[in-house]
Structure 1
C-alpha cells in the first residue's frame, strides 16, 4: 500500500478584470477497492458565489462553481490524498474469454454496448488493420497477451509529445502522424480495441513518477490519461499505452467516460474579448508516502 498526494493548480490570466461563467471540475478521485480517498480540498480564487457537487452519467464526482465577481486572474488548487493499492494483473478471466475472439455474456451486452461502438470514422479500415496485425492468423489469440502487446506497441511505435492546444486528436491523425499526447494514445487504443469488439473507456487522472532510479514515465507534471478494457471475470482493467503500464500501478483514477470530451479535468468560460486572455498554466505534483502492507 502507498499513500499518494496530489497538488493540482490551474491558473488563468487576463489583461483586465473579466467575469466568469460556470466552471466544471473533475478533481475528486473515484473510491474503489484499489484506491481510497483519505482527504481532499479545493481552493478557488476569487471565491465563487457557490460550489455544488453532482455525479455525472458515469458516476464521476463533478464540482460546479459559479461566480459573481470579476478578476484578472482565476485559480483552482486541488489537493487530494489517496491510499493506493497496486493491483497486479494476472488476467484471471472467465474461461470463455481467455482467448480472442469471444463474445460478451448476453446479460452484460446492453451495458457494455456504448463502450464497444466506435466513435470516429475509419472509412478505409486503417485503424482496424493496424489492430489486426497483432492477431494470429487462423488461430485464437490469448486475450491478455493481445491487449498487452497492443499497449506496448503504441508506446514503441509512436512518439510522445506534449501539445498546448486543447482537445484530443482523432485516432487516424495519430496513426498517420505517428505522434501524440497521452490523451491521443488513450483514445487511439480505445478505438483500436473497439475495432476488435472489446468494450473500452477513457480514464482521466494523475500519474505518479517514481524517483530517477525507477521506471521511465511520460506524462508527469500534468493530468494524465489512459484507458480501461472490460475483460469478463477480470472487470475493467487499466492500460496506459503511453508508459506501457498494465494495471493501476502509479495511476490515480479520477474520472471514466465513453469519450475524452466527457472527462476534461477543468472547463469553463469568461466574459470578455478574446484579446483579454493571456493564457493558462497548469502545475501537477504527485508525491508518494509508502505505508504498511495491507
Structure 2
C-alpha cells in the first residue's frame, strides 16, 4: 500500500537583537528511493537568503542557506509532499549464506561497507560487546535477522525513552549505564552493538508519522497510539544484510519498516546528519532559543 503525506518543518532561531548569519546546512528533504517518492518541495527563509542545493558524500540532499541580512529571528520552513510505499524487512529474503549468524560479507561488499562496519565508539571493558552477544542463541543456530529483531525489541522494552532538545548523542556506554535516552541514542547503541558483531549499520534521520497527532485522523479519537518520537525529527538505523540490502530498524518503537518512517538522510554517525547546522555572529548573550514545529499529515483518501 502507498500513502501520501504532507510534511511541514519549521525551525526558528530567536535573538535578543539583530545578528549576522553565516551559512546554514539544512537537511530536511526526504530521501527518494524505490519506496519513497518526493512529489513537491518548497523552502522559505526569513530573512531573505541565497539557497543552493548539493549532495553530500552519502548522496543526501543538502540545502546551503546564506541569509542576506541581519535579523533577530531566522526562520526556515520546508514543505514536502511525498508518496511512501509500505515495506517490511521481514518480507525480504536474505542471501542463504547470510541467514545464520555469523556470516561473511563478500570482498566487494566489504570494500563498500568498510566505514559502516568499523565501530566508532570505544568499548574498553567489553561492556557493549557483552551486551550485543546476549542476543546470540546458545540453544541452537542464530538467525541473522532474528538477532537484530531481538536487539531492536530489547531496546524498546528495557530502556526508558526521554526526548532531549540539546544537540549531540550519548555514547553507547552512556546509554547502557543510564538505561535510557532519545531516539538517536537508541539508534547509535544498536548500530555500534551490531558493528561489534560484524554487521554493517548506518544512522538514519527523518520523520515519523503518528495518526494520534493528526487532528483530522480517525485514529486520533482513539487516544494514545504508543508511537514514540513523532512530532519532531526522528532517528533509527539500517543494517545491511546480503540479499535484502539496507533494512530499517527503529529500536525506539520496535518498528521494522512500514510506511510511517520517512527517511531524510543516512550517515555512518549521527553527528553527520543534523537537521540544521550553522553559525551566527553577535553578542554572546544574544541567543534566546530555538523553536521547532513539525507536522506530518496523511492526505485524505491517499492510499
The bucket for the TM-score relative to the shorter chain is: over 0.9
Counterparts of 1:200 and 1:238, CA distance in 2:
10
Is residue 2–residue 290 contact of structure 1 (8 Å, CA) maintained in 2? no
Instruction: Give the deviation of 1:289 after TM superposition.
Output: 2.2
Q: How much has 1:28 moved relative to structure 2?
A: 1.0
Structure 1 residue aligned with 2:240: 230
CA distance in 2 between counterparts of 1:273 and 1:177 reads 36
1:278 paired to 2:295? no
Cα distance in structure 2, aligned partners of 1:20 and 1:58: 26
Deviation, structure 1 residue 79: 0.6
Within the alignment, does 1:196 sit opposite 2:197 as a pair? yes
**Could you list the per-position Cα deviations for residues 59-85 of structure 1 after superposition, in whole angstroms to 9, with x for gaps in the alignment?**
001010112310000001011111010
Give the unaligned 5+ runs of structure 1: none
Partner of 1:257: 267
1:290 Cα offset (Å): 5.8
Q: In the TM superposition, what are the counterparts of 1:142-157 in structure 2 within 5 Å? A: 142-157=143-158
TM (norm. structure 2) is 0.93
Q: Aligned residue for 1:29?
A: 30
Partner of 1:217: 227
The aligned residue for residue 177 of structure 1 is: 178
- Aligned-residue Cα RMSD (Å) equals 1.3
The separation in 2 between residues aligned to 1:292 and 1:37, in whole angstroms, is 15
| Deviation readout 1:83-130 (Å, 9 max, x if unpaired) | 010112224000001111100112111001110100001100101100
What's the counterpart of residue 21 of structure 2? 20
Query: Which has the higher mean CA deviation after the structures are superposed, 80-89 or 211-220?
Result: 211-220
1:244 to 247, 251, 254: 254
Task: Provide the secondary structure at the position in 1 that maps to 2:17.
Answer: strand
Distance 1:118 1:137 in 2: 25
Report how far residue 240 of structure 1 moved.
Answer: 0.4
Work out the CA distance in 1 between the residues paired with 2:300 and 2:243.
30
Residue 142 to residue 290, structure 1, CA distance change in 2 (3 Å): farther
Deviates more, 1:105-114 or 1:237-246: 105-114
Cα deviation for residue 255 of structure 1 reads 0.3
In the alignment, the residues of structure 2 paired with residue 143 and residue 290 of structure 1 have an alpha-carbon distance, to the nearest angstrom, of 39
Deviations 1:262-293 (A, max 9, x none): 11111111101220000001011110126566
Gapped regions of structure 2 (runs ≥ 5): 212-218
Structure 1 CA distance, aligned partners of 2:178 and 2:302?
A: 45
Over 3 Å counting, the alpha-carbon distance change for 1:291 and 1:14 in structure 2 is same
CA distance in 1, matches of 2:106, 2:203: 22
Residue 70 (structure 2) pairs with residue 60 (structure 1): no
In structure 2, C-alpha distance between the alignment counterparts of 1:198 and 1:291, rounded to whole Å: 40
Return 242-251 or 193-202, whichever deviates more.
242-251
Does structure 1 retain, via aligned residues, the 8 Å contact 2:4–2:302? no
Q: Distance in 2 between matches of 1:255 and 1:164?
A: 19
- Deviation readout 1:167-196 (Å, 9 max, x if unpaired): 111110000001100011111110010011
Matched residue of 1:107: which SS?
Answer: helix
- Taking the aligned partners of 2:249 and 2:192, their CA distance within structure 1 comes to 13
Q: Scaled by the length of structure 1, what TM-score is found? A: 0.96
Report the count of equivalent residues: 292
| Separation in structure 2 between the aligned mates of residue 221 and residue 88 of structure 1, nearest angstrom | 23
Which residue pairs with 2:298 in the alignment? 288
